[in-house]
Amino acid sequence: MKLGGYANHVARIDLSRGDVQYEEYRKNGRVSILAPVAWESATCWKTGQKLIP
Amino acid sequence: MLENGPEVDPLSPDNLLCFMNGPLTGSPANMSGRMAVVTKSPLTGTVTDSHHGGWSAARLRWAGFDGLLFKGRAEKPVYAYVEDGKVELRDASDLWGLGIHETIKRLQERYGERDLTVIAIGPAGENMVKYGCWVNEDDRASGRGGTGAVGGSKNLKAVVVKAKKQLTKPADNAAWKEAHSRALATIMDEKNVTAPRKGGLSVYGTNVLMNITSNMGGLPAFNGKVTSFGDGAELLSGEWVEQNILVHNPTCHACPVACKKEVEITEGPYAGVRMESLEYEPAWSLGANCGNDDAASVAAMIDRANDLGMDAIEIGDVLGCYMEATERGIQNGDAGLAWGDHAAMFETIKKVAYREGIGNVLADGVNATANYFGYPEIAMTVKGQGIPAYDPRGLKGMGIAYATSNRGACHLRAYTPASELGLIPLRTDPLEWKGKGELTKIFQDLHAFSDSLDLCKFSAFAEGADEYAAQYSAMVGVPFTADDVMETGERIYNLERYFNNLAGFREGSDYLPKRFTTEPSTMPGSEGHVCELDQMLEEYYAVRGWENGVVPQAKLQALGIV
């Protein structure tokens, strides 16, 4: 886990299954969180990705 | 949020519940100790984001995360324990049913107080009171929108984060030093309300506004029947608090302003209460809005609302509605609630959290309360959420801001009083409606960006798009300008609106309680004024490029949203 930088790490927790998945947005390019997360909309904008695939 | 469909039932397992940081979180950026709790609201049915201060956001970042996204429903109560890049779900059966304060105390005993943050729900969230909320560190609530009820529906009692301080490093250190110094200079500038120990916000906290808005006829009192609380506002004011019950000036991560005002009640029926959130909004809702000028009782009620885990603004809206219904006449055998009866208010708040008796009605919000008593016209709400502490007959900008807020009635999506009260250089007449549509759009876009960074809203009393752009650019290493800030904010605001459109909020969904548009103010400062909402909506939709509240496809394409 790289700390102290611009990490972009999120954890997806499925409470029904007791399962935790870790994601880094810049690697998989997924966009699934609605604003207000500027790093998401801003970085996607800059990289030309659409907010809603 | 969109992956589940905007029509998802907010209290179903499929609704996402997100605890989010921004790119400046955990860094030395001034006023960056904010965390956003994001979900679809059970109170409004809209998207909602509700932010709290303290150290939770920084510690989540230092633990290795920018966000936690919860979905599903646990079989039994659990809490999430976050440390060193790992998230574990642990049994919370022994915590279920406890208030916020006791929950935090027990988890501190378990993990030690040092470097620990606890964000929890109380009985209100557990019982899915529609304005149950998440509370961080005893007093800092993500109050609005019922995010705590969503936690309760998922059997999620708390998020516990353990992390030692390790400040986020900028991508461009030299640029960061310059951007940070520039932003700090604006906050420290003695002409700004943010100036430490000199500006009004720093000296008196948010409650510095109480007597100001009252004197200008911009403070809704007695459930909005009048626009001023007269002498009562002085007894609730920041000045009164500072002179009589203030004991400490706490602050959040990386904030020199210290707007939190910790108070202690040492005599009377509420003696023993010590808390740090006698803020303007809840002091208004449980004070002026309910005809109550007893500051000690207000402190006690806010503390009780926090401990039970419910929005201290919304409960005051609900009680104010209940009081007006009582005044008009209750036909169903309920005893009712009299204006200013703070002892009865204090007990009623507990009934709401546990859904006991009339509390079960009040727990479903202002609209449900007004409808239950047969007076739907006294529901002072927009999209189901109660109004905050500004009367749009005396502060016209708040009218269009409430009506077009994407999360229901809200002062924080577009804080137009910053201009109307002269807190920023762009000063406008609070009684003039012209131009407020455009002003609201500008604030909405700017705030959408700062909420995303995530910086405290009060940063906007000193900083602007230039300062935000410079800090963002230096931190993440992406060239960014003030125009980019506003464009990103516009995209966020349109995306939220698009979500709401898909969730069923279509043409005609932007409105105000009729009281504001049809009953002229009778108080000095705004006497004779109503809020000219229709005119402002026309202006607002024109600058937004929306069709009666709906984002056209062409706009979505132009912004790169679809």
Closest CA relative to residue B48, chosen from B155, B143, B151 = B143
Are B453 and B475 in contact, with CB atoms under 8 Å apart? no
Rounded Cα gap, residues B215 and B302, in angstroms = 24
Note whether residue B186 is domain-resident: no
- How large a percentage of chain B has pLDDT more than 70? 99
Are B369 and B312 in contact, with CB atoms under 8 Å apart? no
Q: What are phi and psi of B158, to 5 degrees?
A: -160, 160
- Picking from A6, A24, A46 by the largest number of B CB atoms within 10 A of its own CB, the best residue to mutate is A6
Interface of B with A in 255-284 (CB under 8 A): none
Q: Is A47 on the interface with B (CB under 8 A)?
A: no
- Using CA coordinates, name the residue in chain B closest to A38: B452
Taking only the tens place, the pLDDT of each residue in B36-92 is 999 999 999 999 999 999 999 999 999 988 889 899 999 999 999 999 999 999 999
CATH at B465: 1.10.599.10
Note whether residue A43 is domain-resident: yes
Question: Which residue, of B361, B386, B411, is where some domain finishes?
Answer: B386
Q: Is A27 on the interface with B (CB under 8 A)?
A: no
B458 with B379, same domain: the answer is no
Note whether residue A37 is domain-resident: yes
- pLDDT in the model for residue B425: 72
State which residues form the domain around B324. 205-386
Strand partners, A22: A11
- pLDDT in the model for residue B169: 83
The count of residues in chain B is: 562
Taking only the tens place, the pLDDT of each residue in A5-31 is 344 578 889 999 999 988 765 433 333
Rg of chain A in Å (alpha carbons): 12
Q: Is A30 on the interface with B (CB under 8 A)?
A: no
Note whether residue A13 is domain-resident: yes
ipTM: 0.94
pLDDT confidence bin for A3, thresholds 50/70/90: very low
**Does A32 have pLDDT greater than 80?**
no
Taking only the tens place, the pLDDT of each residue in B388-428 is 999 999 999 999 999 999 999 999 999 999 999 988 878 99
- pLDDT in the model for residue A1: 30
Contacts of B453 in chain A (CB under 8 A): 38
**CB–CB contact B23 A5 (8 Å):** no
Q: How many domains does chain B fold into?
A: 3
> Six-digit token pair at B103?
């929950």
Nearest to B476 among A4, A15, A39 (CB): A39
Note whether residue B194 is domain-resident: no
- pLDDT in the model for residue B479: 85
Q: Is B155 on the interface with A (CB under 8 A)?
A: yes
Q: Is the dihedral of CA B224, B229, B235, B241 positive or negative?
A: positive
State which residues form the domain around A23. 9-47
Rounded Cα gap, residues B559 and B551, in angstroms = 11
B22 with B148, same domain: the answer is yes
B142 with B271, same domain: the answer is no
**CB–CB contact B38 A33 (8 Å):** yes
**CB–CB contact B66 A36 (8 Å):** no
Rounded Cα gap, residues B114 and B31, in angstroms = 22
B330 with B405, same domain: the answer is no
Taking only the tens place, the pLDDT of each residue in B338-361 is 999 999 999 999 999 999 999 999
Closest CA relative to residue B168, chosen from B37, B14, B287, B64 = B64
Q: Is A34 on the interface with B (CB under 8 A)?
A: yes
What average pLDDT is seen over chain B? 95
Average pLDDT over residues B214-236: 98
**CB–CB contact B478 A34 (8 Å):** no
Interface of B with A in 300-339 (CB under 8 A): none
The model carries a pTM of: 0.95
Taking only the tens place, the pLDDT of each residue in B292-341 is 999 999 999 999 999 999 999 999 999 999 999 999 999 878 999 999 99
The count of residues in chain A is: 53
Q: How many domains does chain A fold into?
A: 1
DSSP B66: S
- pLDDT in the model for residue A24: 64
B432 with B350, same domain: the answer is no
Contacts of A10 in chain B (CB under 8 A): 65-69
